Amino acid sequence: MLWPAAGQDIYQVTRQEQIPEPVAQVVRHLWQVSWRRPAGASFASSVLTNPLPHLTFEDAEGGRLHGHAVPAALLHGLVSSVFAVQLPPAGRVTGVAFHPGALTALAGVAMAELTDRVVPAVDVFGGRVLDLADAVPPEGEESVRRALTLDYLGAVLEPRLEQVTQDPAYAVVRAAEAVMRARDQVSLESVAREVNVSPRTLQRIFARYVGASPLWVLRRYRLQDAAAALDAGAGQDLAGLAAELGFADQAHFTRAFTAVIGVPPSRYRAGQRP
């Protein structure tokens, strides 16, 4: 059975954090999502994403996702705003979240060319990735595809492992992004000091390996922290929250939050969502 049984209204997400070596050198986690609306109606989904590229294996009733015919293997670049997609009535996706910079170190991809784009994965990974797209397991057996995916990525990585692990720019990206995830990091200069490079060097490396500036990545994490604080009922003092997250003032914070989330923080706090 491809889809969950009729009459079920589901939206399920699972995530596998423990990635075996050496695949963990390039992959942060695997994830799966499946959904069905019993009325057979399409619906929208939106997520404020991390600055990670994703390889996805997608299948859906209706036969198209992100403008591509499915089943398909697709490569998603960094999403500069909120990731939003109109989902068909039912579908399943298995995804690979790569570390920032991994696709450049692994395959020489200039990530700026993928920002806000979804392209066929065969363009980067070659024809064998299509076999994984066609291998749609029965419902409840997503572990089969996860195992096949890890085996495939291990085979891709094996001849390039030294190239990846000895790439100094990739090492800088990994170290800087890890620093940026700490909530007390609010300036590009402090991040650059932590990884022993100049801000200009960090900007140059991020442009090629991540597809966005390091300041953009830093601000994305702080905006995620802001949304999480508001979701948790905090943030009654928006000026204080703005200062805590490194924004010059509440007005700068409000503009940045609104541009990415779609509503001002005061309305988000009140329960309004775009």
In a domain, residue 56? The reply is yes
> 29 and 51, same structural domain?
yes
Give the count of domains, the chain. 2
In a domain, residue 224? The reply is yes
Q: Which one of 110, 141, 160 terminates a domain?
A: 160
In a domain, residue 1? The reply is no
- Give the CATH number of the domain where residue 211 resides: 1.10.10.60
DSSP string, 36-65: E-TT---EEEEE---S--EEEEEEETTSEE
In a domain, residue 3? The reply is no
> 124 and 101, same structural domain?
yes
> 244 and 135, same structural domain?
no
Q: What is the pLDDT of residue 110?
A: 93
Return the residue matching tokens 């600055």: 51
- Give the CATH number of the domain where residue 69 resides: 2.60.120
In a domain, residue 58? The reply is yes
Q: What is the pLDDT of residue 195?
A: 97
Say if CB 155 and CB 165 are below 8 A apart.
no
In a domain, residue 231? The reply is yes
> 120 and 192, same structural domain?
no
In a domain, residue 4? The reply is no
Residue 113 φ then ψ, to 5°: -75, -15
Range of the domain at 199: 168-269
Tens place of pLDDT per residue across the chain (274 aa): 233 444 456 667 888 889 999 999 999 999 988 888 777 676 677 777 888 999 999 888 877 888 888 888 999 999 987 777 778 888 888 899 999 999 999 999 999 999 999 999 999 998 888 888 777 666 667 778 888 899 999 999 999 999 999 999 999 999 999 999 998 899 999 999 999 999 999 999 999 999 999 999 999 999 999 999 998 888 889 999 999 888 888 999 999 999 888 889 999 988 877 6
State the Cα–Cα distance between residues 126 and 116, nearest whole angstrom.
Answer: 21
Q: Which one of 107, 132, 160 terminates a domain?
A: 160
In a domain, residue 44? The reply is yes
Q: What is the pLDDT of residue 164?
A: 97
Please count the residues of the chain.
Answer: 274
